Structure 1
Amino acid sequence: MRRKGSGSMSVKSKWTKTKWLRADRALRRFVPETRRFSRSSLRAMTGRYRTVYFKPTDGTGGSGIARVVRLSPRRFSVKKDMRTFQVSSAGSLYGRLKGIARGRSYLLQKGIALRTSGGRPFDVRMTMQRSGGKWVPSALFVKLGKRNKVVTNYHQGGKLALIEPTLRRSGCSPVQINRYKRRLKTLGRQTARCFDRHSTRFKELGLDVALDRQGRLWILEVNTRPNFNALKSLGDKRLHRTVMRYGRQYGRTR
């Protein structure tokens, strides 16, 4: 754990944060199965799920992530960045992923089939910030993925968008949109309480939440140093002004 110059605690390890979430009774059902990368966990995860994500434990901005799809019991497709290759055994899959990892720690996470809006997959960012001792849901927006990209991240060609029009284009009614917004804010508060149990020095959290094609919400990960700069790319600058106003209360200036 590190304390950042912003005055807020930062935890880089996705494994640590996933363990916290999965140990929380209110939250564990929202967390896709996640395991540390090893030969045995790879065999188990690719046997159980058709799609598995291969993520660096300490990665940021969506870099280093690969998507593994089981095509048949022994054949797999792997996509990283814009490159796709196939392997024809579990052993060669393990070898290729080890090559991508280059000695770094990696996780395997159950793949979630993201809902799409205008043909583009998206996930939701729920930003929580501490203000006057209380957690406040300060920003809610979506990250629209670039077609054919593995992740939706802004730094990987994704685009930020407002939540209402995105959900509307994905087929949600006004009633459903309001229900999702309420549920996302509840998830944000529950996650903030979970992190508070490990340290009261957290001042900001950015939840990446997937909405799957069945309408279920999943917490993909929690960022303890969320990127606020990307919010400037939105035509409406109010969300950026809001998160910076709260950020200044605990010393974050950018």
Structure 2
Amino acid sequence: MGKLGKYKFMKKYKMIRKFLPDTRTATLSNIKIMLGLYKSVYLKPDEGTGGHGIYRIHRDKNNLILRTGSKSRIFSSLNDLYTSIKNVLTRGKYIVQEGIELLKHNHRPFDIRVMVQKNGKGILDVTGIIGRQAKRNKVVTNYHSGGTPLPVDTLLKSHLNDESRKRYIQLLERLGKDASTVLGKSYRSKRAFGVDIAIDNKMNPWVLEINTKPDMSIFNALKNKTMYKRILRYSKIKG
């Protein structure tokens, strides 16, 4: 399943439904509907990885601003905007997703990756959690698109006090595990899930995507190697 298939599958489960941002096929009509519902939307390849080929559209007074990478273009109508990227959207399957205004640290947005892996008994454990801060002026946080890996505690310091931070990180870990448990019902042979979680300005968490072949190297970028060593240890467990 691509992003849309995973979204539709997970939406069936009450425990995770409210954490999923609205996601649809990126047709002109769907983009128009969603821009009427939300301040911004993201266009993403249904099966893309690494933050490549992602566009952000948001309204600014009477115009629409299209961003990709660190570049912006202004359009006076959705038809003009759509025409400019139609070839990209029709060449590969794209989704349109409700835009979540990411929480920021030092004026740069960030999101969270929760690593969930099966232990020797086949039970899912949270083995790592890390923050990914976007490169200046970029719309994506992905490590391989210039995002900076940072401890979650560091990123949340300007938003929560010590005790609240600890509880909130536990909440993120639990959400990552719950999301993996749900998707794992369809991916029974998978032993690892990388859950990407956005946090909005009201501190609400959103499950943006779940990777069934998560990159473990990002955890090696932290000074403290405890999580990375645990993740490697779990990756060697045979199913």
* TM-score, with structure 1 as normaliser: 0.89
Q: What's 2:162 paired with? A: 174
Alpha-carbon distance in structure 2 between the residues aligned to 1:50 and 1:24? 27
Aligned 8 A contact 2:26 2:89 in 1: no
Alpha-carbon distance in structure 1 between the residues aligned to 2:195 and 2:69? 23
Q: What's 1:111 paired with? A: 99
Deviation at 1:22, TM superposition (A): 1.6
Q: What's 1:134 paired with? A: 123
Match of 1:96, SS? Answer: helix
Bigger drift between 90-99 and 77-86 goes to 90-99
Alpha-carbon distance in structure 2 between the residues aligned to 1:150 and 1:78? 11
| Letter in structure 1 aligned against 2:81 | L
171, 188, 202: which one aligns with 1:183: 171
Q: What's 1:6 paired with? A: none
Match of 1:26, SS? Answer: helix
Q: What's 1:3 paired with? A: none
Q: What's 1:192 paired with? A: 180
Aligned 8 A contact 1:231 1:237 in 2: yes
Q: What's 2:224 paired with? A: 236
> 1:52-131 counterparts in 2 under 5 A?
52-72=41-61, 75-101=63-89, 103-131=91-119
Deviation at 1:14, TM superposition (A): 1.0
| Letter in structure 2 aligned against 1:232 | N
Deviation at 1:36, TM superposition (A): 0.6
Deviation at 1:185, TM superposition (A): 2.0
Aligned 8 A contact 1:195 1:202 in 2: no
Bigger drift between 96-105 and 156-165 goes to 96-105
Bigger drift between 170-179 and 157-166 goes to 170-179
Aligned 8 A contact 1:120 1:147 in 2: yes
Bigger drift between 193-202 and 126-135 goes to 193-202
Let me know the Cα RMSD of the aligned residues.
1.4
Identity of aligned residues (%): 32
Aligned 8 A contact 1:42 1:94 in 2: no
Q: Name stretches of at least 5 consecutive residues in structure 1 with no aligned partner.
A: 1-10
Deviation at 1:197, TM superposition (A): 2.0
Alpha-carbon distance in structure 1 between the residues aligned to 2:73 and 2:92? 21
208, 212, 215: which one aligns with 2:203: 215
19, 25, 28: which one aligns with 1:30: 19
Bigger drift between 128-137 and 175-184 goes to 175-184
Deviation at 1:102, TM superposition (A): 5.1
Aligned 8 A contact 2:21 2:208 in 1: yes
Aligned 8 A contact 2:180 2:195 in 1: no
| 1:197-234, Cα deviation, whole Å (9 max, x unpaired) | 22321211011001111110000111111111122221
| 1:8-63, Cα deviation, whole Å (9 max, x unpaired) | xxx5x111111122221111110111111101101101111121101000100000
> 1:5-44 counterparts in 2 under 5 A?
11=1, 13-44=2-33
Aligned 8 A contact 2:59 2:65 in 1: yes
* TM-score, with structure 2 as normaliser: 0.95
Deviation at 1:146, TM superposition (A): 1.0
Deviation at 1:189, TM superposition (A): 2.3
Size of the alignment, in residue pairs?
238
Aligned 8 A contact 2:180 2:210 in 1: no
Alpha-carbon distance in structure 2 between the residues aligned to 1:173 and 1:215? 13
Deviation at 1:90, TM superposition (A): 1.7
